[in-house]
């Protein structure tokens, strides 16, 4: 069932509750943000998520999202090298590599020079690496961390880059078909198995140990939406991999988690779809922050590649400001700024207004790498 729009009442008393419960969490969090460097990094991207997606979801569910409770926040600009409005290829590339590129390109500069991603740089330092997404693993955002391509739609070439990467230890997502039903007739899963990868379809079945790389394919194509029955693998897979890597990764780890379908809900101007995907992503954020609070050496950075849908929150009825509802202004991406939330060692560097390419350097800096 999909509602085309949410109309909900927000009472003044609820707004007071929302404001007052945002403070106590931060005090204890600040105490942990000393001058230590971050051994572990959890980088979370809500595709198509800006302020209205967050506030609209909070209105709909009547409570503050976990990401908004973090003690540090900032704002980033998202334009690409060639367009005022970015796509997820150039947006993902900016976040993953620190370089602006043209729309549609993956982990390459605008002149088509391939550049290393932050995941690859951390792998070279001996950190374990993982990606968990609610779309096909070959889609633009995850691809920006592992593959290099002038065209984000070259899914089979991107799958080959995943298969041949020596920098990725674990991934969870969809798009099995790009690994096995290929024009070149290669079976990348067989090739990966020969190189020590193990594959599972169900999170509960997956065995994680230090000697093998592990991938979970949740779908042949893209995993379905939450509303259409997708499991909570984004949060559970995040928690499972954090637990696994905290045991095994002596030099720490880098993990990227994407709430991929927030963007698709924005394209569809579908507020029920949007709220469900935002909650799913925020549950993963909670798993990440819960881990980081206990661990003390983990930086969590939550941001977005761009806004989708031109969403605003407007009055629910003519001249009645006591109720609000979603109002989408486009079926495409927009140029508006998006938020950054951070917690853990080095998180204090994520305040202010800056460009999306700076996130890359801020994370490296927090880890003591630059």
What is the token pair recorded at 224?
């379905």
- By beta-carbon proximity to Zn ion, the closer residue of 36 and 267 is 267
Q: What backbone phi and psi angles, to 5 degrees, belong to 74? A: -145, -175
Q: Is 270 in the site for Zn ion (CB under 5 A)?
A: no
- Only one of the segments 60-68, 103-111, 262-270, 360-368 lies at the binding site for Zn ion (rule: CB under 5 A); that segment is 262-270
Q: How far apart are CA 126 and CA 365, in angstroms?
A: 17
Residue whose CB is less far from Zn ion, 92 or 316: 92
Judged by CB under 5 A, the chain residues 165 through 224 that form the site for Zn ion are none
Which range binds Zn ion by CB under 5 A, 55-63, 98-106, 255-263, 358-366?
A: 255-263
Q: Which is nearer to Zn ion, 275 or 300 (CB)?
A: 275
Strand partners, 343: 300
Q: Which is nearer to Zn ion, 120 or 263 (CB)?
A: 263
- Does 120 interact with Zn ion (rule: CB under 5 A)? no
**Closer residue to Zn ion (CB): 154 or 323:** 154
DSSP assignment of 73-104: EEEEE---SS-SS--HHHHHHHHHHS----TT
Q: Within 301-340, which residues bind Zn ion (CB under 5 A)?
A: none
What does the alpha-carbon distance between residue 357 and residue 147 come to, in Å, rounded to a whole number? 18
Residues in the chain: 370
Q: Which residue is nearest to Zn ion (CB)?
A: 263
Separation in Å, CA 37 to CA 33, 49, 288, 351 = 10, 28, 18, 17
Nearer to Zn ion, 214 or 278 (CB): 278
In the complex, minimum distance from the CB of residue 91 to Zn ion, in angstroms, rounded to a whole number: 9
- In sequence order, the 6+-apart residues with CB closer than 8 A to the CB of 90 are 80, 81, 82, 83, 100, 101, 102, 103, 104, 105
C-alpha to C-alpha distance for 153 and 348, rounded to whole angstroms: 37
Q: How far is the CB of 310 from Zn ion (least distance, A)?
A: 12
263 interacts with Zn ion by CB under 5 A: yes
Sign, Cα dihedral of 243, 247, 249, 252: positive
Residue 66 or 258: the one with the smaller Cβ distance to Zn ion is 258
How many other C-beta atoms can be found within 10 angstroms of the C-beta atom of residue 369?
14
Q: Which stretch binds Zn ion (CB under 5 A): 72-80, 90-98, 191-199, 260-268?
A: 260-268
Instruction: Supply the minimum distance, in Å, between the C-beta of residue 264 and Zn ion.
Output: 7
Shortest Å distance, C-beta 197 to Zn ion? 30
Q: Minimal distance in Å, beta carbon 358 to Zn ion? A: 22
- Please give the size of the binding site for Zn ion, defined by CB under 5 A: 1
| Chain centroid, CA 135 distance in Å | 11
Q: Is 149 in the site for Zn ion (CB under 5 A)?
A: no
Pair 105, 143: CB distance under 8 Å = no
Binding stretches for Zn ion (CB under 5 A): 263
């Amino acid at each position: 069932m999909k509602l085309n729009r949410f109309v909900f009442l927000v009472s003044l008393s609820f707004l007071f509750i929302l404001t007052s419960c945002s403070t106590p969490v931060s005090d204890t969090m600040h105490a942990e943000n000393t001058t230590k460097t971050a051994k572990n990094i959890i980088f979370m991207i809500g595709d198509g998520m800006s302020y209205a997606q967050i506030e609209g979801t909070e209105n709909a569910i009547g409570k503050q999202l976990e990401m908004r409770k973090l003690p540090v926040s900032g704002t980033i600009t998202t334009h690409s090298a060639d367009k005022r409005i970015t796509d997820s290829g150039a947006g993902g590339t900016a976040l993953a590599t620190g370089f602006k590129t043209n729309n549609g390109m993956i982990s390459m500069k605008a002149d088509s020079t391939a550049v290393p991603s932050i995941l690859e740089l951390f792998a070279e330092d001996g950190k374990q690496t993982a990606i968990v997404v609610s779309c096909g693993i070959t889609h633009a955002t995850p691809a920006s961390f592992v593959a290099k391509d002038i065209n984000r739609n070259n899914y089979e070439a991107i799958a080959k880059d995943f298969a041949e990467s020596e920098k990725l230890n674990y991934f969870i997502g969809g798009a099995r078909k790009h690994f096995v039903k290929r024009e070149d007739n290669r079976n990348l899963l067989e090739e990966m198995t020969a190189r020590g990868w193990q594959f599972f379809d169900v999170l509960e079945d997956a065995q994680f140990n230090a000697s093998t790389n592990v991938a979970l394919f949740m779908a042949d194509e893209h995993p379905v939406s939450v509303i259409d029955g997708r499991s909570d693998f984004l949060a559970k897979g995040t928690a499972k991999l954090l637990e696994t890597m905290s045991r095994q990764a002596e030099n720490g780890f880098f993990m990227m988690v994407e709430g991929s379908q927030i963007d698709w809900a924005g394209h569809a101007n579908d507020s029920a779809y949007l709220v469900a995907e935002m909650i799913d992503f925020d549950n993963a954020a909670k798993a990440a922050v819960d881990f980081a609070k206990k661990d003390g050496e983990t930086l969590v950075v939550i941001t977005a590649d761009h806004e989708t849908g031109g969403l605003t929150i407007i009055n629910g009825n003519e001249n009645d400001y006591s109720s609000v509802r979603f109002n989408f202004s486009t079926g495409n991406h927009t140029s508006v700024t998006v938020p950054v939330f951070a917690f853990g060692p080095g998180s204090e560097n994520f305040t202010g207004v800056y460009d999306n390419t700076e996130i890359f350097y801020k994370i490296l800096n927090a880890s003591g790498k630059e």
